[in-house]
Chain A
Amino acid sequence: MDILTWTWIIVGLSFALYIGIAIWAKAKTTGDFYVAAKQVHPVLNGMATGADWMSAASFISMAGLISFLGRDGSMYLMGWTGGYVLLAMLLAPYLRKYGKYTVPMFVGERYYSQTARVVALICAIFVSFTYVAGQMRGVGVVFSRFLEVPINTGVLIGMAIVFFYAVLGGMKGITYTQVAQYCVLIVAYLIPAIFISIMLTGNPIPQFGYGSSLSNNGMQLLGVNEGGYLLDKLNGIQQELGFSAYTSGGAKSTIDVFAITFALMVGTAGLPHIIIRFFTTPTIRGARASAGWALLFIAILYTTAPAVASFARLNMIKTLNNEEYAHAPSWFKNWEKTGLVAWKDKNSDGIMQFAKGNAFDGKIAFEKGPDGKTLKGQYGESVVSTKQTPLEKSKNELYIDNDIVVLANPEIAKLPNWVVALVAAGGLAAALSTAAGLLLVIAAAISHDLMKSIVKPDLSETGELIWARGAAGLAVCVAGYFGINPPGFVAQVVAFAFGLAASSFFPVIIMGIFWRRATKEAAILGMFSGIAFTAAYIIYFKFMNPPSFNVAENWLWGISPEGIGTVGMCINFIVMIIVSNLTKQPPAHVQEMVANLRYPREIK
């Protein structure tokens, strides 16, 4: 069977599974809808959290990004895992003890203030929408690449599926579909990685494989005569081509890598869709354990990613550089159609040259004939219409999109067609699971924090459930709209989501738990100053000035907008400490509530 048929079958089966689970796990009460009735086993919650957390970007783009950045790429690996240690020790057990449904609700009650709750509510909605738009787009992109349907149709199909299980099942439905989605995505990620590892090094565990020596088979495949450690080979080749060694940093300054890693870690710990997952376990013990399981399941993918990245880097350079286009590997020609890879001769020798620097100036587009088909050049390559960079500036003739590293993996490893199909299903699982988790945060914020608590406190249980479902449905539609008409700034705002979570929720929740003296004025001013600073910094560099201005010389202490959430967080903490000391201490019942959070059982 061909790839397309396999993809339809496997994606179809996975979708049928998600729908089946949604029907089985229908939410009957608001407790079901918001926190799955607090009946989720810690291990299953760990899997669900893993799927909730790993987005289309983690699945499709991260390995490619690391492959491109070398050691500096590890800031994503550490940044997107280290937050779970903070969650397990500083947040999850205490918030689970608090036991209510949403993050704005905790902020509102702990700081005895509706204003604080509204600020938290707006942050939660903003952070979640920012994130979800990218996920819906991701669904569309996977559909268009693997199933040859237009991106917009893909977004609509994705919307229909998420609509079904998020609106019907709420947190309960989402949790169990996420468990299934985790299984799909991890299998899809590991199979190609394991086979490539065997192919190049003979080691079936990719995590160890990329620290091993090349096998005879690997040497033959890459056309090298001398064996040795794979990473040494990769360093040597990178340096030959004018790049810095793969295993050394250098693309970014140490302080910037430090700040970005920190912002990602505390941002993770402050993201509402992750925090609410820990409300669903039956016990506090379970909430702690659940964070550990979640990180274990995430780490399985996150330790495989750097292996995939270095295998792909080595393989690509060796099989593409200085090769005649006519003899290019078949995966290269297959993926040329999607525009993820492209080649245009600079020195008219018909040979592909790879080197440091960009081959093209701007976004890749192809020359089209009158019949709408892409024109073919003299060697059979698709003709790129984008302007080339001059030869003096860079000898590079190849454009290679980061995403290709994961997407073309099965073909590079010469795996059967069904594995390619599985990767498509895995990408969809990653995008859909994250989207669903985010939509639930938005739905709960609207139905519980806005309607039930502020606008209409006499809302009945049934009424609230209707609002929750309605809000989830509406959120799906808004997310779908942004998926079809992506605002130009989607890529830019990811920094925003982490920066905001780091500079708003994280300090306020930590202080709320660990310091009884933290007051409502402090929380409001702290959140406000943290967000205002972080947002202003990001907007100033990302939106108000040309990209050429966004460089280290202009940054505060050499910290890029991606890492500025770290500074925003410090500002929030400092403001909170000062203001708390200047204002009247919190009422007795709040102090008692905080004291109670510390102990798993009720104490008097």
Chain B
Amino acid sequence: MSDKQEFKAYWKENLTYIIILLSIWFVVSYLFGIILADNLDGIKIFGFPLGFWFANQGSEVIFVILIAVYVKLMNKLDMKYDVHEQ
């Protein structure tokens, strides 16, 4: 495989990660926290109605995790395709 193809593959994998992680980003905040919040409120976790919890805290916590996962994945990917900084 030529260098050029390697670089293309790197970029493609990066975009796949982004699409997957941003889908989760969308689901927890817009879907669970806004659109489906009323339906989820029927489920209770401790004293929190679930929709309310996603809107107030759940999304924020998951956002932090999403970035952490992306950072880990990309650090690995940089190494795999040898595009990391020296």
Same assembly: yes
CB distance from B62 to the nearest CB of A (A): 9
How many angstroms from the CA of A483 to the CA of B51 in the assembled complex?
Answer: 40
Number of interface residues of B (CB under 8 A): 46
Known: A211-B53, A231-B52, A288-B67. 8 other contacts (CB 8 A): A78-B60, A84-B63, A89-B67, A229-B46, A284-B85, A285-B84, A288-B74, A598-B7
Would B37 and A249 count as touching, CB distance under 8 A? yes
Please provide the 7 A-B residue pairs with the shortest distance between their CB atoms, ordered closest to farther.
Answer: A229-B47, A74-B55, A292-B67, A211-B47, A247-B52, A306-B56, A211-B48
Query: With an 8 A cutoff between CB atoms, is B5 at the interface?
Result: no
Query: Knowing A77-B56, A89-B22 touch, does A211 contact B45 (C-beta < 8 A)?
Result: yes
Contact of B41 among A75, A213, A247 (CB under 8 A): A247
> Which residue among A82, A302, A303, A598 has the maximum number of chain B CB atoms within 10 Å of its CB?
A82
Would B49 and A231 count as touching, CB distance under 8 A? yes
Contact of A232 among B3, B47, B67, B85 (CB under 8 A): B47
Would B70 and A288 count as touching, CB distance under 8 A? yes
Instruction: List B contacts of A231 (CB < 8 A).
Output: 47-49, 52
9-residue interface stretch from A254-262, A526-534, A571-579: A254-262
Query: Knowing A74-B55, A211-B45, A599-B83 touch, does A84 contact B37 (C-beta < 8 A)?
Result: no
Bitwise interface map of A from 225 to 238 toward B, beta carbon under 8 Å scored 1, else 0: 00001111000000
**Which chain B residue shows the least CB distance to A282?**
B85
19 residue pairs of the A-B complex, CB under 8 angstroms, read A71-B37, A71-B51, A74-B52, A74-B56, A78-B29, A78-B55, A85-B22, A211-B45, A229-B46, A231-B48, A231-B49, A285-B74, A285-B78, A296-B64, A299-B61, A306-B57, A599-B7, A600-B83, A601-B85
Query: With an 8 A cutoff between CB atoms, is B71 at the interface?
Result: yes
Instruction: List A contacts of B29 (CB < 8 A).
Output: 78, 82, 261
Instruction: List A contacts of B18 (CB < 8 A).
Output: 89-90
How many angstroms from the CA of A303 to the CA of B17 in the assembled complex?
Answer: 27
CB distance from A257 to the nearest CB of B (A): 5
Question: Interface SS of chain B: helix, strand, loop or mixed?
Answer: helix
Q: Which residues of A contact B (CB under 8 A)?
A: 71, 74-75, 77-78, 81-82, 84-86, 88-90, 93, 207-208, 210-213, 229-232, 247-249, 254, 257-258, 261-262, 283-285, 288-289, 291-292, 295-296, 299, 302-303, 306, 598-601, 603
Would A601 and B83 count as touching, CB distance under 8 A? yes
Query: With an 8 A cutoff between CB atoms, is B2 at the interface?
Result: no
Would B59 and A78 count as touching, CB distance under 8 A? yes
Would A292 and B84 count as touching, CB distance under 8 A? no
Contact of A71 among B7, B14, B55 (CB under 8 A): B55
Query: Knowing A89-B70, A261-B34, A288-B71 touch, does A248 contact B59 (C-beta < 8 A)?
Result: no
**Which chain B residue shows the least CB distance to A257?**
B34
Interface residues of B in 4-59 (CB under 8 A from A): 7, 10-11, 14, 17-18, 21-22, 25, 29-30, 33-35, 37-38, 41, 45-49, 51-53, 55-57, 59
